[in-house]
Amino acid sequence: MKRLLCFILSLCFVLGLAAVAPADKLFVKAEAASSVTGGTLNSATFIIDPGHGGSDPGAMLGSREEADDVLRLSLRVAQLIVASGETCALTRINDATHDLDEKTAIANNGNFDYFVSIHRNASGVGGVGIESYYYSGASSTSAGAKLCTSIHNSMVATGVWTRNRGVKTAGYYVLKYTNMPATLLEVGFIDVESENVIFDTHFETIAVSIANGMLAMVGKSVNTTKYESGMESPYGAKVTNGTVSASATISKTKEVDNFALKGWTLHTEGISSVRYSVDNGSYTNLSTATRSDIQSSVSGYSDYSNCGFSGNIPCDNLSAGNHTITIQAVTKKSNTYTVAKITLTVEDPIEDFVLNSSSDFTMDETFVTVKNTGLKASEIAAEFKCTVKLFSASGVQLSDNAIGGTGCVVKYLSDTGALIASATVVIPGDLTGDGTINTTDLACAHKLIGLGYDYSNVFNIAGDVTGDKVLNTADYLTVRKHCDGSNNIYG
Ligand SMILES: [Zn+2]
């Protein structure tokens, strides 16, 4: 009886009687539309009709049913639309059986702006590609034609399909009898195995393309926030589903250290560049590269180029205290997102350094000075990996063969010979006690004397000033007490 009723109703439409028929006569009893998570949804921007279902499997290849393929695809498209902040209902979310008049009624009985019926094609003669339909009675400028064209072009743009069969018109039931702009999609041929390989391999891409074609009708696009990010130990900032879930705090010493950044990030749109800012200032690009190790361990992204990033943030110019380092990625579609936020604590040794048993370096009786090394100036200079020149206390540069003595001035020069810092200082010896005089010792000396910070307040730490056989805070405080910066304790 239902089919007979349907036929009569259809005839009414064909005869142009729909406009004068009472509305209740046109009402077909049907279930309400469903939300993607279950439950009824009577009002939404979109309603998706997964073709066939239940006792009607649609086209088949072996045991593969069109009804299953299109349900899976429809659910994913609906998920993407909902995740993008738009509403979407479905005529079915499981293997339910609905006649075409029921499917149409589910849409018409609710309040929906656009109707999208998703199918897979079959020809029996090896057809390939995609084609999309709007109602043959609608004009090419109708909303239905625009909806159809928008989705079809979006699917074509993926490049995954071997043939574009075009936008077409037809008098299909669901196109003809739905009250809202409607389209019917034939998403590849289910009876050709190579088409099913495309469907399965590029399932997510296809779903995103359909969702994007639909969302374009309301000026939106799929919100592709799926990205992952990892930072190398020990920084540890992590991103999950678009949110920086943890930030790291690290400490660096002014002048002595750089902050070395290294990590990776992935985004569904691909990565164009990765950059950082300090305290929300302007961005500086980091180096990027393909990270094959990440590609092999994190799947689900189509583009792994530029996913690795690295670089150094110099700490010289940062003030003491906390700084916020923001690492930002720019996608290949010019969208940006935060990869990590890191709190960088910069220590200023002049203000904060305390020499005691918990200091991060040790000094003992092996501490020596120029005063008792008897080394020539050239020999002392050679102990430094950076370029240093030795000067007398009165500022005269020492000849290479001069014996370094009390009150030398060390000048710390760049590779090109430019002055970086200087101070009146006793040449530091083996501060770290490792048996060699090297840049580690120089770094220790920097911490002690503030080389390069405040030349009017330079203190020489010459060793065991207090004579207690230990170089410690008492020595430092004693030196401070007896020096005013223009003198040194041997001068
Ligand atoms: Zn079908």
- Domain ranges across the chain: 26-218, 227-347, 350-482
The catalytically annotated residue of 102, 186, 195, 228 is: 186
Tokens 């309301």 belong to which residue?
218
Is pLDDT at 336 greater than 50 in this prediction?
A: yes
User: Which range is least confidently modeled, 75-89, 147-161, 316-330?
Assistant: 316-330
281 contacts 248 by C-beta, under 8 angstroms:
no
Q: How far apart are CA 10 and CA 101, in angstroms?
A: 10
Q: What is the mean pLDDT of residues 324-342?
A: 88
CB burial readout 304-315, b (16+ within 10 A) else e = bebbbbebebeb
d(CA 479, CA 463) in angstroms, rounded, equals 10
Place of tokens 């056989």: 469
Of the two residues 475 and 118, the one the predictor is more confident about is 118
Specify the pairing of strand 248-253 against strand 336-347.
Answer: parallel
Please report the pLDDT score of residue 390 as a whole number. Answer: 62
Which pLDDT score, from 0 to 100, does residue 248 have? Answer: 66
Superfamily of domain 26-218: Zn-dependent exopeptidases (3.40.630.40)
pLDDT at 232: 80
With beta carbons less than 8 A apart as the criterion, state whether 51 and 66 touch: yes
pLDDT top residue among 321 and 213: 213
Contact status, residue 423 vs residue 455, Cβ threshold 8 Å: yes
Cα(4) to centroid(ligand 1), Å? 22
Residue corresponding to tokens 């609710």: 110
Question: Residue 218 and residue 216: Cα distance in Å, rounded?
Answer: 5
- Give the containing element (helix H, strand E) for 216: none
Å from CA of 70 to ligand 1 middle: 9
Q: How far is the CA of 91 from the centre of ligand 1 (A)?
A: 14
Ligand 1 centroid to residue 34 C-alpha, Å: 20
DSSP state of 397: B
pLDDT tens digits, 382-430 = 554 445 566 655 556 667 776 544 344 555 555 565 665 544 444 344 4
Q: Is 485 helix (H, G, I), strand (E, B) or coil?
A: coil
422-460: pLDDT as tens digits? 444 443 444 455 555 555 555 555 544 433 333 333 334
Q: What is the mean pLDDT of the chain?
A: 74
Q: Which residues contact 468 (CB under 8 A, 6 or more apart)?
A: 474
Residue 166, beta-bridge partner list: 131
pLDDT at 339: 87
Q: How far is the CA of 121 from the centre of ligand 1 (A)?
A: 6
What are the structure tokens assigned to 124, written together? 């029996």
Q: Distance between CA 76 and CA 68 in Å, rounded? A: 13
Give the helix/strand (H/E) hosting 198.
Answer: helix 193-201
If you measure from the C-alpha of residue 270 to the centroid of ligand 1, how many angstroms do you get, rounded to a whole number?
Answer: 34
Given this model, what pLDDT does residue 243 score?
Answer: 66
Q: Ligand 1 centroid to 180 CA: how many Å?
A: 20
Range in 20-29, 168-177, 192-201 the model is least confident about: 20-29
The rounded Å distance from CA 13 to ligand 1 centre is 23
Query: Quick check: do 26-218 and 227-347 share a fold?
Result: no
Once rounded to an integer, what is the mean pLDDT over residues 29-47?
A: 91
Distance 58 CA to ligand 1 centre (A): 5
Distance of CA 120 from the midpoint of ligand 1 (Å): 6
What pLDDT sits at residue 348?
58
Q: Which CATH number fits domain 227-347: 3.40.50.10490, 2.40.50.660, 2.160.10.10, 2.60.40.650?
A: 2.60.40.650
pLDDT band with cut points at 50, 70 and 90 for residue 314: confident
Q: Which of 163-177, 229-243, 425-439 has the lowest mean pLDDT?
A: 425-439
Question: How far does the centroid of ligand 1 lie from the alpha carbon of residue 257, in Å?
Answer: 66
One DSSP character per residue, 110-146 reads SEEEEEEEEEEE--SS---SEEEEEETTS-TTSHHHH
Is it the case that residue 247 has pLDDT exceeding 50?
Answer: yes
Active site residue 186: yes
